[in-house]
Chain A
Amino acid sequence: MEKLEHSLWLVQVVNALFGPLVAGALGPLGIEFKPGHDVIPDFIVMSLLILIGMSALCLFIRSRLSVENPGTLQLALEAAVSFLNGMLDDFVGPKGRNYLTLVGTMFLFILTGNLMGLVPGLKAPTSNINVTLGCALTVFVYYQFHGIKEQGIVAYVKHFMMPPGAPAWIAPIYFPIEVISQLSRVLSLSVRLFGNIFGEDLVIVILASLVPFVVPVPMMALGLVTSALQAYIFAMLTTIYLAGAVVVDHGPEGHGAHGEGHDVAHAAAA
């Protein structure tokens, strides 16, 4: 195998069109570009493609929303929204729907990002550690911010010091453990998504470079499954982390769904 990557046509076109603009804008900041390298990296081109494509699609659907006669795409998007709302209600409770913006965006971005790896001519932006680290850091900052906003900073830091129902002297032992566990969430979110998608694409590329005819197809079918699964897992872990930060324990609650979600949330948040 000579070279693992070749430049995609779309990336070359975008660099030819906008490369000098971006290089000129970044020049005064002191960022130099060596002649061989692309000014706009391929994962940014693909992420912008998702951005523009999904925005155009949703604006198009929005102009054609109809109650009596919904089209197929509207039904599909409604199914996605109701699925995410159900997940948020299960884990976070009644305030869950406020967080649909981030959870839904992450889910759709990662789903389309993963699936783009299977389309010839496109490359999965989530197969690059920069993109997945960006997603993980966004989620981290978001749930910390909302945790502080909901509980106040004093109560939130107290959660870091003591697990609920523990004596006060446990704080010096528990605080470093909790900080490391929170930081490891960023690492695990980003590396899980990156490893899965990069590994999947790498296997398909290697199989296709050996026998390009029919052999990569089972791996691509597996890629469909793991793409959707990884997007769902990312959205679900975001919801669980949000629930851990935002939900205030008022003592034994009444409804069963909340209890069940909370148990699993505590297990997964470790």
Chain B
Amino acid sequence: MRKSLVLSLTLLFVAAGMVAPLFAQGTVPAGGSEVAKWSIITAGFALAIAAAFGALGQAKGLSAAAEAIARNPSATGDIRFALLLGLVLIESLVIYVLLVALILFFVKPFGG
């Protein structure tokens, strides 16, 4: 009895969660200037390109670090530290692009 009660309550919560998007208002984009529309599209493309190249760079660094650890397990601490530092520095370049995209989306310097 108790188990089926718990199960039915869980299913009710899941159903309620799944239904939530139905209540979202359909937002109509306001008529903005041509530059504003293109700035949004540009921001999307810039993010995609930045993420792609950032991931490529990080993957190269990661594979080199994994290979180095495999060849020299006693230096794992130093290699792990260098790997983390490198990954974060590469990621910060992608974050710069995210910052520009956020400015274009939310601060909307070109109107729209």
Interfacial residues, chain A to chain B (CB-CB below 8 A): 1-2, 188, 191-192, 194-196, 198-199, 209-214, 229-230, 232-233, 236, 260, 264, 268
Contact A195 B99 (CB under 8 A): yes
A-B contacts, 7 of them at CB < 8 A, read A191-B92, A195-B95, A199-B95, A199-B98, A209-B24, A211-B21, A268-B85
Could you say which of A195, A199, A233 contacts B84, with CB atoms under 8 Å apart?
A233
List of 7 A-B pairs having minimum Cβ-Cβ separation, nearest first: A213-B17, A195-B95, A192-B92, A233-B88, A195-B98, A195-B99, A212-B17
Which residues from A are CB-within-8-Å of B28?
none
Interfacial residues, chain B to chain A (CB-CB below 8 A): 13-14, 16-18, 20-21, 24-25, 27, 78, 81-82, 84-85, 88-89, 91-92, 95-96, 98-99, 102
Closest B-chain residue to A195, C-beta based?
B95
Chain A interface mostly: helix
Closest A-chain residue to B94, C-beta based?
A195
Closest A-chain residue to B16, C-beta based?
A213
Contact B85 A236 (CB under 8 A): yes
Contact A210 B21 (CB under 8 A): yes
A203 to chain B, nearest CB (A): 11
Could you say which of A213, A236, A268 contacts B13, with CB atoms under 8 Å apart?
A213
Number of contacts between A and B (CB, 8 Å)? 53
> Complex formed: what's the CA distance from A199 to B94 in Å?
12
A139 to chain B, nearest CB (A): 15
> Complex formed: what's the CA distance from A108 to B11 in Å?
41
Contact B20 A212 (CB under 8 A): yes
Which residues from B are CB-within-8-Å of A194?
99
A264 to chain B, nearest CB (A): 6
Contact A2 B98 (CB under 8 A): no
> Complex formed: what's the CA distance from A209 to B82 in Å?
38
Closest B-chain residue to A199, C-beta based?
B98
Contact A264 B92 (CB under 8 A): no
Contact A210:B85 (CB < 8 A) given known A2-B25, A199-B95: no
Contact B24 A191 (CB under 8 A): no
Contact A213 B21 (CB under 8 A): no
Which residues from A are CB-within-8-Å of B21?
210-211
Contact A268 B84 (CB under 8 A): no
Could you say which of A195, A211, A230, A268 contacts B96, with CB atoms under 8 Å apart?
A195
Could you say which of A210, A230, A233 contacts B20, with CB atoms under 8 Å apart?
A210
Closest A-chain residue to B75, C-beta based?
A260
Contact B99 A191 (CB under 8 A): yes
> Complex formed: what's the CA distance from A229 to B96 in Å?
18
Contact B85 A213 (CB under 8 A): no
10 extra A-B contacts, CB within 8 A, seeds A192-B91, A199-B95, A213-B14: A1-B24, A191-B95, A191-B99, A192-B95, A195-B92, A195-B95, A210-B21, A212-B20, A214-B14, A236-B85
